[in-house]
Amino acid sequence: MIHLTWLLLIFGIPRVTASYPIWWSLAMGHQYSSVESQPELCSSIPGLVPKQLRFCRNFAEVMPSVVHGLSIAIHECQHQFRGRRWNCTTLNDTLAIFGPVLDRATREAAFVHAIVSVGIAFAVTRGCADGSSTICGCDVMRKGPPGDGWKWGGCSEDVDFGSMVSREFADARENRPDARSAMNRHNHEAGRTSISEHMYLKCKCHGLSGSCEVKTCWFSQPNFRRIGDYMKDKYDSASEMVVEKHRESRGWVETLRPKYTFFKPPTETDLVYYENSPNFCEPNKETGSFGTQDRTCNLTSHGIDGCELLCCGRGHNTRTEKRKEKCHCTFHWCCYVSCQECMRVYDVHTCK
Ligand SMILES: *[C@@H]1O[C@H](CO)[C@@H](O)[C@H](O)[C@H]1NC(C)=O
Ligand SMILES: *[C@@H]1O[C@H](CO)[C@@H](O)[C@H](O)[C@H]1NC(C)=O
Ligand SMILES: *[C@@H]1O[C@H](CO)[C@@H](O)[C@H](O)[C@H]1NC(C)=O
């Protein structure tokens, strides 16, 4: 961390409290929802570099989509990591919303940076297609000859515009000559590429009672869950790198190269990292690990959510929990279903 502070002093970037963007804290509060109509609020967003501040003022109307993109990204991260030792917990009492965990250049940091950058591109693209902004809209280039039994119609989503916003805004502070910045640039781009790879032709039938006399189709982004699943695979197969220093005319520049020459080098769609993750078993203020004590584990799973792995071999406690459930449902002619309420008893296992 010492070298980062040093670089910040030299390049005059505003002091930050984390090695990841503190403007991500936008996702935690509603106080900026009116930025759209009051661009002067941009200057009160924490941690923006001058380029981002200009962007926010000039394109205030896409800012709500940027914030929405951040929230779907964080939500997706929490879904993908739900049963794991590190489960993408966010804190709402600090601007560094992931705590110190993402200060290290780990796989987890790679994943979060990628999902945030793709989340912003995705949400801005969707917002444009929904007509929520006057400066963007549908991808009008996606017209042309109709296909077999269908014609172009509806609004093809303009991924290029969303990706441009993500690149201009989310990457604005990633121009430092250090290794972390190189890692973030790579992972941000890897995230954004995943959208174009999952675009598909979405169609709708028109005609009398569901007949498909006329079919119109447009180019659509996938469900965000598909992007999340894909990025999680990229997390599992992320490439470990090492940092190299070069002397260039502008001074020392750090770049990354693959640590293992016998593995396939990462492509532009792969995630990269260069520091190992802590094991997240015990609480540790320095690494930001919460430990796994009291976490609910799955007794029958042999995976990372299983009691053995999640509890790091410390064992688990079992208690029973009663939950009300609908039961003995009967169908009445015509047309409703009535149910009774039953108590069901569950075993809940938590880590020691
Ligand atoms: C995630 O981990 C935190 C910290 O250990 C825990 O408090 C929280 O309940 C966990 N969330 C889920 C959904 O398991
Ligand atoms: C932070 O989150 C906790 C738990 O979700 C909630 O009870 C609390 O009100 C939140 N605080 C703020 C300032 O939003
Ligand atoms: C626990 O793990 C088993 C085996 O992987 C799985 O079938 C089951 O759905 C899991 N239970 C919960 C509550 O996640």
- Residue 287 belongs to some domain of the structure: no
Q: Please state, in angstroms and rounded to a whole number, the distance separating the CA atoms of residues 309 and 302.
A: 8
Nearest in space to 294 (alpha carbons), one of 87, 77, 79:
87
329 and 270 in a common domain? no
- What pLDDT shows up at residue 4? 38
The reply to whether ligand 1 has any atom less than 6 angstroms from the CB of 86 is no
In this structure, which amino acid lies at residue 343?
Answer: M
Nearest protein Cα to ligand 3, atom 4: 301
The pair of three-digit structure tokens given for residue 93, joined into one six-digit string: 């009492």
Ligand 1 geometric centre to CA of 315 (Å): 18
Nearest in space to 183 (alpha carbons), one of 113, 117, 248, 230:
113
- Residue 181 belongs to some domain of the structure: yes
User: Does residue 188 contact residue 165 with C-beta atoms inside 8 Å?
Assistant: no
197 and 319 in a common domain? no
- What pLDDT shows up at residue 94? 85
The reply to whether ligand 3 has any atom less than 6 angstroms from the CB of 300 is yes
Ligand 1 geometric centre to CA of 289 (Å): 11
- What pLDDT shows up at residue 14? 44
The reply to whether ligand 3 has any atom less than 6 angstroms from the CB of 302 is no
**Residue to substitute in 80, 81, 89 for testing ligand 1 pocket (most ligand atoms within 8 angstroms of CB):** 89
The reply to whether ligand 1 has any atom less than 6 angstroms from the CB of 293 is no
335 and 193 in a common domain? no
Domain boundary among 242, 260, 280: 280
CA angle 104, 110, 115 (to 5 degrees): 135
- What pLDDT shows up at residue 9? 41
- What pLDDT shows up at residue 36? 78
315 and 231 in a common domain? no
- What pLDDT shows up at residue 30? 64
Ligand 3 geometric centre to CA of 198 (Å): 29
| Ligand 1 atom nearest 88 alpha carbon | 1
The reply to whether ligand 3 has any atom less than 6 angstroms from the CB of 301 is yes
The reply to whether ligand 1 has any atom less than 6 angstroms from the CB of 290 is yes
Nearest protein Cα to ligand 3, atom 2: 301
Domain boundary among 259, 280, 301: 280
298 and 267 in a common domain? no
The total number of structural domains that make up the chain:
2
- What pLDDT shows up at residue 17? 61
pTM above 0.85, yes or no: yes
327 and 190 in a common domain? no
Nearest protein Cα to ligand 1, atom 6: 295
The reply to whether ligand 3 has any atom less than 6 angstroms from the CB of 298 is yes
Nearest in space to 287 (alpha carbons), one of 25, 76, 105:
105
- What pLDDT shows up at residue 11? 46
Nearest protein Cα to ligand 3, atom 11: 298
The reply to whether ligand 3 has any atom less than 6 angstroms from the CB of 71 is no
| Ligand 1 atom nearest 83 alpha carbon | 14
137 and 45 in a common domain? yes
User: Does residue 199 contact residue 220 with C-beta atoms inside 8 Å?
Assistant: yes
Please list the pLDDT of the chain residue by residue as tens digits (352 residues).
344 334 434 444 445 467 888 889 888 876 676 777 888 888 888 889 999 999 999 999 999 999 999 999 999 999 999 999 999 999 988 888 999 999 999 999 999 999 999 999 999 999 999 888 888 888 877 776 777 788 888 888 999 999 999 999 999 989 889 999 999 999 999 999 999 999 999 988 887 777 788 888 889 999 999 999 999 999 999 999 999 999 988 889 999 999 998 888 899 999 999 999 999 999 999 999 999 999 999 999 999 999 999 999 999 999 999 999 999 999 888 888 999 999 999 999 999 9
**Residue to substitute in 75, 101, 279, 290 for testing ligand 1 pocket (most ligand atoms within 8 angstroms of CB):** 290
Burial 100-110, CB ≥16 within 10 A → b, else e:
bbbbbbbbbbb
The reply to whether ligand 3 has any atom less than 6 angstroms from the CB of 347 is no
- Domain extent, residue 330, equals 292-352
In this structure, which amino acid lies at residue 323?
Answer: R
- What pLDDT shows up at residue 335? 84
The reply to whether ligand 1 has any atom less than 6 angstroms from the CB of 289 is no
305 and 222 in a common domain? no
| Ligand 1 atom nearest 294 alpha carbon | 5
User: Does residue 346 contact residue 313 with C-beta atoms inside 8 Å?
Assistant: no
Ligand 3 geometric centre to CA of 309 (Å): 14
Give the CATH number, domain containing residue 323: 3.30.2460.20
